[in-house]
Amino acid sequence: MNQKSLSAQNKTHKQILSFLKNRKISKVYSEFVSSLNTRENLAVAVSGGPDSLALAYLAKCYSIKNKITVKFFLVDHKLRAESTKEATSVKKLLQKVGITCKVLSWKGKKPSRNIQSLAREARYSLLAKECSKNNIKHLLLGHHSNDLFENFLIRVVRGSGLNGLVSFNKSVKYKDKDLNILRPLLNLEKNDLINISKIVFKFFVKDPSNINEDYKRTRIRNLLYSLEKEGLDLKKLELTINNLKDSDKSIKFYVDRNLKKNVVFLKRKNIYILSYNFFDQSHEIVFRSLTSLIQKLGKKYYPVRGKSINELMKKINEKSFTKVTLGNCYVERVNETILISQENSHKV
């Protein structure tokens, strides 16, 4: 880099870091740093909303201070006519503060049902591929405390078990890939992030799907807002979630033990063989063990719905049970043994 370019870069970096003099932004940045705790190269998922723009700014500051590479990616789902124009606007906006953002497009025919779930899967897939190309092992998402509460209530409405209720974590592996999905803003409130976007960017995209009550998440968000007006203390709700997480850790210990002691994996055939003792556990242990095996073998980012796993457990207990398909896997009985294999894999 020549002297002129270096001088321009230093000027941009100084301008970016100057916003940290703001007391509120400085406080949010300190929380971001303590949650992140890594000096490896990073990727940031940007959407144009206030959460992800704030995340982009914080990550840029982090990259400057720690001299690491951070890549910024924006997924254009092309579900709305104006989405590509918005993506271009966000890209130009980020360039003004020294952030280079690459737009990734979801190509092909779009679904007419289960749109948000499938779009989310497509988004993660595109981001994961880009991280792999750039040899990046950590992907940052802009989820905050309000998302945590929304997710909790959505799972309550669905009748999720304990694992589902507390599954929204700061760090999680993406499928079987060498990629960690990190949520360093999970302890922060949405208003803190809106404040950063207003001060730094003076702009953010308002996604119309966020007010569309055809989507369950929007209805849950409005419900949460109503509960707050009625006196719901979100700090107490957070305490409840944390207490449930402690209980969840204890159960995970026994699930891990069940998977290690009572499951054999035939790597060549890509098949799990479950011993009789696998099912000689409490309902929750068997439930989670089956969920884990099917999710891993079926290569799904999200686990199979709890209702489907419960139905599978009932069928396995029936003498007439022979075979079912679930989560891109076959679950079948051969003599007295239960096997789980991929739909396209060879059978023993």
pLDDT tens track for 253-265: 999 999 999 999 9
Judge if 109 and 194 occupy the same domain: yes
Check pLDDT > 90 for residue 331: yes
* Residue 225 domain-assigned (yes or no): yes
- Cα–Cα distance, 68 to 57 (Å, whole number): 14
* Residue 242 domain-assigned (yes or no): no
Judge if 52 and 150 occupy the same domain: yes
* Residue 227 domain-assigned (yes or no): yes
* Residue 275 domain-assigned (yes or no): yes
* Residue 175 domain-assigned (yes or no): yes
Percentage of residues in the chain having pLDDT higher than 90: 59
Judge if 171 and 33 occupy the same domain: yes
Judge if 8 and 154 occupy the same domain: yes
What would the mean pLDDT of 154-170 be, rounded to a whole number? 84
Judge if 15 and 93 occupy the same domain: yes
Residues present in the chain in total: 348
Judge if 99 and 167 occupy the same domain: yes
Using the Cα atoms of residue 141, residue 144, residue 149 and residue 153 in order, give the sign of their dihedral. Answer: negative
Encode pLDDT of 203-243 as tens digits.
776 665 666 667 788 898 888 888 888 888 888 888 999 99
Judge if 217 and 309 occupy the same domain: no
CATH number of the domain that 220 lies in?
3.40.50.620
Judge if 102 and 195 occupy the same domain: yes
**Structure tokens that stand for 230 in this block:** 């009625």
Judge if 204 and 290 occupy the same domain: no
Place 347 in a pLDDT band, splitting at 50, 70 and 90: very low
The range of the structural domain enclosing residue 160 comes to: 3-232
pTM of the model: 0.77
Check pLDDT > 90 for residue 345: no
Q: Look at residues 184, 199, 232 and tell me which one is the last residue of a structural domain.
A: 232
> How many domains are contained in the chain?
2
Selection from 340, 336, 308, 307 nearest residue 323 by Cα: 340
The residue behind tokens 């719905």 is 305
Dump the DSSP string for 275-309: -GGGGSS-HHHHHHHHHHHHHHHHT-SSPPPHHHH
* Residue 348 domain-assigned (yes or no): no
Q: Look at residues 205, 232, 259 and tell me which one is the last residue of a structural domain.
A: 232
Judge if 83 and 219 occupy the same domain: yes
Judge if 190 and 309 occupy the same domain: no
* Residue 239 domain-assigned (yes or no): no
HSE value, Cβ hemisphere, 13 Å, CA-based, for 226: 6
- Cα–Cα distance, 322 to 316 (Å, whole number): 8
* Residue 83 domain-assigned (yes or no): yes
Residues 6 or more apart whose Cβ sits within 8 Å of residue 233: none
What's the whole-number average pLDDT of the chain? Answer: 89
Judge if 223 and 265 occupy the same domain: no
What's the pLDDT score for residue 227?
Answer: 85
Encode pLDDT of 121-146 as tens digits.
899 999 999 999 999 999 999 999 98
The answer to whether 292 touches 329, Cβ cutoff 8 Å, is: no
